[in-house]
Amino acid sequence: MKFSVTIDRDEDGVWVVECPSIPGCVSQGQTREEALKSIEEAIALCLEVRAERGLPLTVETRQVEVTI
């Protein structure tokens, strides 16, 4: 399965990665590569927990266009 993720750096320079289609699925790393590796593990674990709890595996995400 493929998931879209967001990648950002916090005020301390730590890379923070989030999977918007899985509520609460966030990870981080000291490098961009470390953070991306960590989110792969986090996604697998989040999907496992959501399945065990009978929750939908993902929530709907969409792109919207905003004119500024």
42 vs 32: CA distance, rounded Å:
15
Identity at 44, one-letter amino acid code: A
pLDDT at residue 2 in the model: 93
Q: Provide the pLDDT for residue 7.
A: 98
- Whether pTM > 0.85 for this model: the answer is yes
* Confidence band, pLDDT 50/70/90 cuts, at residue 68: very high
Do 7 and 15 contact (CB within 8 A), yes or no? yes
pLDDT tens figures, 37-57: 999 999 999 999 999 999 999
Per-residue pLDDT, 26 = 98
